[in-house]
Structure 1
Amino acid sequence: MKIEGDPRVDAYEGMHVDAPNSDVTLTNVTTGQKIVGRFAYHNELRRPELIFCFCLSMAYDAGLRKFGGACIEITDEKALHDRIAGALVRRSRLTRLDRPLLRADRITYYRTDAAVAEGVDIKNPTHLPFLKRYTYAAEQEYRYVFARRGGYELNQVIVNRLHQRNADIAKLKADEITLRIGSIRDIAEARAV
């Protein structure tokens, strides 16, 4: 999140935001006190800096130009998956990683004022890296995700309209892990966008 620049920046990466288009009533079950206002519910990763993503797009159209003038088409997704998984097995000898080592799936795009797609558990932290707000749906993203140990921990937050997610992201320490998967010339082709 932090190291991405325009046009890829998404301050709500790795979370699900439920923000109804109406006032919400919060009730303290101990005292009975009620608070009414515009609140949102965030299910987010407690330590997103421990999550690593490799992103692909299943779209092949002019919309990809915002990422550059060329792309690499993967012609054998299973082979790419196997190579990334193999690199993670080798890497896990040096870096403590969560199990399973690799998760891969399409991104589910959601609207903050509507129910999420059936089968998606917004309280399961392993689902959160595969959720993005609907404004990014044209990207048709597919992700490979892995995490350092402790990366898949849920943090639930209720926020008001004054909450600034970007300020929180600025405090995170950017990290990286290099995976060597070898040449992909046999499973990929260069394409102009």
Structure 2
Amino acid sequence: MAKLYFRYSAMNAGKSTAMLQVAHNYEEQGQSVKLYTAAIDNRYGGGKVTSRLGPQRNAEVFDASFDFLKEVPKVSCVLIDEAQFLSSAQVKQLHQLAQVKGVPVICYGLRSDFMGEPFEGAAYLLALADDIEELKNICSCGKKATMNIRVGADGKRVTSGEQIDIGGNERYKHVCGRCFYSS
């Protein structure tokens, strides 16, 4: 039975690396996969799933108007990077893809934003995913990192602003709950 999977973590835990490995494993067995990433995330160029370790791969992009039920071809597995940017309707489409069409769907993304608020896609994945897994990361204090904070050009924490502001290590830090509330 195919499932909808949600693999989440704070930033910098290796979600994209894990996704690229899963794609490789399927293809090594002669099976076809389709990779998708959010159109809004163009840090490494549009339509690229990129690990900070170096590996990267082309992917299809999704935006708010993308319909997974209509657009996904017949494949062995669908892999979604930056899944926090999915809409509730898209998460429901992916759930249907797994439950009705029998295609495993594995989503990788953040659970919450820099203010500790859930992303829409993540909230619906937490509600509908058949299997949920946290990928671990470590805060600078040594505890498990579960949250993200945004920092300004001065290195100080930013506590307000738009939910989405694409960036990497220069804009975000992964922290534990204690450091999230004390910084």
* TM class by smaller structure: under 0.3
TM norm structure 1: 0.25
Q: Which has the larger radius of gyration?
A: 1
Greater relative contact order structure (CA < 8 Å, 6+ sep): 1
TM norm structure 2: 0.26
Q: Give the number of the structure whose residues are more often helix, by fraction.
A: 2
